[in-house]
Amino acid sequence: MTKQQTGVSRRKFAGLAGLASAGAFGTALTPWAAREMDARASGLTSQSLSADEMDAFHEAGVSAFPAETRGKGNQPLEYEMDGDVKVFRLTCDIVPDWEFDVGKTVEAWTYNGTVPGPEIRVTEGDRVRVHVKNNLNESTAVHWHGLIVPNDQDGVPFLTQPPIKPGEEFTYEFTALEGNAGTHMYHSHNNSAKQVTMGLLGAFTILPKDPATRPSYDREFLIVLNDGPIGGYSINGKSFPATEPLVAKKGERILIRYYNEGLMIHPMHLHGMPQLVIAQDGWLLPQPYMCDTLNIAPGQRFEVLVDCTEVGLWAFHCHILSHAEGDHGMFGMVTVLIVEE
Ligand SMILES: [Cu+2]
């Protein structure tokens, strides 16, 4: 199995999509972003746009995909060994200009400067220690969502621990229990409707000690959903066309790990090939099932396998359509599965 792929360039995507010559996009991005922002600022609606103007906005968005932006979440969090303990460090930091779409920035509350925060990845049986430093101007705490931990490590202020006040540090320590493998997450559990949606969230993966206990795959992708103040409807902290495509080769089996860190449900619809749902909230299903649209509620995680049998550019989006497309084209929870020959 391999870790998440590196991105496909905008130039390459334009070529695959049969859009105007790839070279034309070398300078298209900034004018597109400017035009898009002007249009929204001036309140243009479909009533005031001609069909050609609407088409131009839609084409421009796809042409800009995958648009490059500053900052990338889900990067593996490095650790140090202290004896047999894996020691991680998280710092809660405010980033004043998280770029969720081209030229569009917003204040984000982050772990280690990105949304989502870095991915913590351990193996069943690992002893884990996480130092959390709070550089926010309000208290926080970290909850290990989906992990079976001792009660005093569960991260709920006043219920299981004192809050981590501004400037303070708190250390969590627990064992990733055998049997608790799967797709989990970590996030703030203090003033959480604000702190989580502002960006204090991340993926926590527990790999099985024995790989044979879970289905195998060729590549994997993380899709962290959010619907708060960080750019609205987002995938991995970005809004289309700044989302990343999933890129696979024909014949490969990919694993998609979903996480809903938002406040709304998001039915994620993949064109072209079915999703085989194998796990919910980390737990392997006794009977995997096929679907093309998987509804994901806040707090839920799912693992699905997709057999990439069909070559092409397959739209992949939330099917609450107002989370994905408007008069000015696709935005928000939209990406593309690219299956290459
Ligand atoms: Cu949605």
Q: What is the pLDDT of residues 207-237, one digit of tens each?
A: 999 999 999 999 999 999 999 898 899 999 9
Q: Is residue 46 a part of any domain in this protein?
A: no
Inform me whether the pLDDT recorded for 4 exceeds 50.
no
Confidence of residue 168 (pLDDT cuts 50, 70, 90): very high
| Three-state DSSP state, 169 | strand
Task: Identify the pLDDT of residue 14.
Answer: 76
Alpha-carbon span 29 to 333, nearest angstrom? 20
- 267 CA distance to ligand 1 middle (Å): 6
Task: Identify the pLDDT of residue 30.
Answer: 46
97-150 pLDDT per residue, tens = 999 999 999 999 999 999 999 999 999 999 999 999 999 999 999 999 999 999
- 148 CA distance to ligand 1 middle (Å): 29
Confidence of residue 65 (pLDDT cuts 50, 70, 90): very high
CATH number, domain of 112, equals 2.60.40.420
Task: Identify the pLDDT of residue 185.
Answer: 98
Task: Identify the pLDDT of residue 39.
Answer: 61
| Three-state DSSP state, 123 | strand
Residues 278-303 have a mean pLDDT of 98
Q: Which ranges of the chain does DSSP label H, i.e. alpha helix?
A: 10-17, 29-41, 51-64, 192-195
What torsion do the CA atoms of 138, 143, 145, 148 make, to the nearest 10 degrees? Answer: 180
| Share of residues in the chain with pLDDT > 90 (%) | 84
- 198 CA distance to ligand 1 middle (Å): 17
- 299 CA distance to ligand 1 middle (Å): 14
The predicted model scores a pTM of 0.91
Residues 271-276 have a mean pLDDT of 98
Which residue segment(s) compose the domain that 152 sits in? 80-209
What torsion do the CA atoms of 30, 114, 228, 196 make, to the nearest 10 degrees? Answer: -170
Residues 304-318 have a mean pLDDT of 98
Amino acid code (one letter) for 312: G
Q: Is residue 304 a part of any domain in this protein?
A: no
Number of residues assigned to the chain: 341
- 323 CA distance to ligand 1 middle (Å): 5
- 298 CA distance to ligand 1 middle (Å): 11
Q: Is residue 337 a part of any domain in this protein?
A: no
Q: Is residue 118 a part of any domain in this protein?
A: yes
Alpha-carbon span 139 to 24, nearest angstrom? 49
State how many domains the chain has.
1
Are 318 and 266 within 8 A, CB to CB? yes
Q: Is residue 138 a part of any domain in this protein?
A: yes
Confidence of residue 33 (pLDDT cuts 50, 70, 90): low
Residues 167-190 have a mean pLDDT of 98
Alpha-carbon span 209 to 14, nearest angstrom? 41
DSSP state of 179: T
DSSP letters spanning 260-318: E-SSS-EEEEESSS-EEEEEETTEEEEEEEEESEEEE-TT-EEEEEEE--S-EEEEEEE
Alpha-carbon span 7 to 138, nearest angstrom? 36
User: CB atoms < 10 A from the CB of 133, how many?
Assistant: 16
Residues 90-99 have a mean pLDDT of 98
Q: Is residue 129 a part of any domain in this protein?
A: yes
Share the mean pLDDT of the chain: 92
Task: Identify the pLDDT of residue 29.
Answer: 40
Task: Identify the pLDDT of residue 17.
Answer: 79
Residue with tokens 């001792």: 150
- 265 CA distance to ligand 1 middle (Å): 6
Alpha-carbon span 305 to 294, nearest angstrom? 12
Confidence of residue 46 (pLDDT cuts 50, 70, 90): low
What torsion do the CA atoms of 198, 93, 102, 116 make, to the nearest 10 degrees? Answer: -60
- 63 CA distance to ligand 1 middle (Å): 23
Q: Is residue 148 a part of any domain in this protein?
A: yes
- 106 CA distance to ligand 1 middle (Å): 20
Q: Is residue 199 a part of any domain in this protein?
A: yes
Amino acid code (one letter) for 206: I
Confidence of residue 16 (pLDDT cuts 50, 70, 90): confident
Of 39-53, 62-76, 155-169, 285-299, the poorest mean pLDDT is in 39-53
- 333 CA distance to ligand 1 middle (Å): 7
Inform me whether the pLDDT recorded for 56 exceeds 90.
yes
